[in-house]
């Protein structure tokens, strides 16, 4: 695992596994080199801005766990590159999460999964733009977002697919609501109290879809701390 040092604004991902701990505001340019397959793990407790470029035939999987922050992330996907991004937020202050995915060359794929828990009466926004310009073909662009409101928070999901090309596959899903009643009943019927049900289901929402490896322990520890 490569721990990324934040004294440099330009990061080139070379290692398979990379870890980025963001506890001060930063703006970073990240490049995944041609033909590389990389994984980036982010732990974010402050606002940040990322500009991520995936060069030809590269792939990047990002697991990103965040608390009480806002992010602006812009992706540039070059030929046949593949992005899988899991962005999870636990928030009790206003949190605005903007994503822009530019499919700049043919054959690129993006899957963006946003999951958030709005703990209080704050804002929690996910805004996602998937952009496919003219003549850029053979693209797969998918966005899935889910927010669980625990209180009367102001949550919003704005999924945009700006498509100016044929021969592409694009999809989005968005859900804002309460915990799934059937799941709550199932867990309660095994004697688990409401607080522990919330803990289990929220951990499942924040981490459930991620392919976790070395970061699992730290992520679970952080969720327990933040709760």
- CB nearer to another protein: pick between 80 and 198: 198
Binding mask 87-116 for another protein (x = CB under 8 A): ------------------------------
Verify binding: residue 194, another protein, rule CB under 8 A.
Answer: yes
* 35 Cβ contact partners less than 8 Å away, ≥ 6 residues apart: 55, 56, 57, 58
Strand order in the sheet with 154-163: 10-13, 26-32, 48-54, 71-77, 95-103, 123-132, 154-163
DSSP letter for each residue of 110-167? EEEEEEEEE-SSSEEEEEEEEEE-TT--SEEEEEEEEEEESSS-EEEEEEEEEE--SS
Is there binding between residue 134 and another protein (CB under 8 A)?
Answer: no
Which residues are CB-neighbours of 129 under 8 A, at least 6 positions away? 99, 100, 101, 160, 162
* Residue 27 lies near another protein (rule: CB under 8 A): no
CB contact at 8 A, 177 and 149: yes
**Residue 222 sits in the site that holds another protein (CB under 8 A):** no
Among 62, 65, 207, 223, binds another protein (CB under 8 A): 207
**Rg of the chain over CA atoms, in angstroms?**
18
State which of residues 7, 10, 190, 225 lies at the interface with another protein (CB under 8 A): 190
Q: ∠ CA(16), CA(107), CA(141), 5° rounding?
A: 85
Question: Hey, which residues does 100 pair with through a beta bridge?
Answer: 74, 129
Binding to another protein by residue 205, rule CB under 8 A?
yes
Please pick, from the candidates 200, 211, 221, 227, the single residue that binds another protein as defined by CB under 8 A.
Answer: 200
Minimum distance from residue 191 beta carbon to another protein (Å): 4
Nearer to another protein, 52 or 210 (CB): 210
CB nearer another protein, residue 158 or residue 204? 204
Per CB under 8 A, 211 contacts another protein: no
192 binds another protein (CB under 8 A): yes
From the list 2-10, 65-73, 133-141, 191-199, the region that binds another protein by CB under 8 A is: 191-199
The site for another protein (CB under 8 A) is made up of 181-183, 185-194, 196-197, 200-201, 203-209
């Amino acid at each position: 695992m490569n721990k990324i040092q934040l004294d440099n604004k330009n990061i080139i991902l070379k290692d398979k596994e990379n870890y980025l701990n963001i506890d001060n505001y930063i703006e970073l340019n990240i490049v995944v080199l041609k033909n590389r397959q990389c994984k980036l793990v982010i732990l974010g407790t402050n606002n940040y801005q990322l500009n991520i470029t995936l060069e030809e035939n590269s792939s990047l999987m990002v697991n990103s766990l965040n608390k009480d922050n806002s992010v602006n992330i812009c992706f540039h996907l070059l030929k046949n590159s593949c992005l899988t991004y899991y962005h999870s937020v636990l928030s009790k202050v206003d949190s605005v999460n903007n994503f822009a995915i530019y499919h700049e060359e043919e054959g690129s794929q993006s899957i963006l999964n946003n999951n958030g828990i709005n703990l209080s009466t704050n804002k929690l926004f996910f805004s996602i733009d998937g952009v496919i310009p003219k003549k850029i073909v053979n693209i797969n662009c998918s966005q899935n977002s889910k927010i669980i409101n625990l209180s009367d928070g102001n949550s919003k999901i704005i999924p945009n697919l700006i498509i100016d090309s044929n021969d592409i596959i694009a999809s989005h899903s968005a859900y804002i609501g309460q915990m799934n009643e059937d799941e709550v009943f199932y867990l309660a019927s095994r004697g688990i109290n409401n607080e522990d049900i919330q803990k289990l289901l929220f951990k499942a929402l924040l981490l459930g879809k991620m392919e976790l490896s070395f970061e699992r322990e730290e992520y679970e520890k952080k969720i327990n701390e933040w709760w």
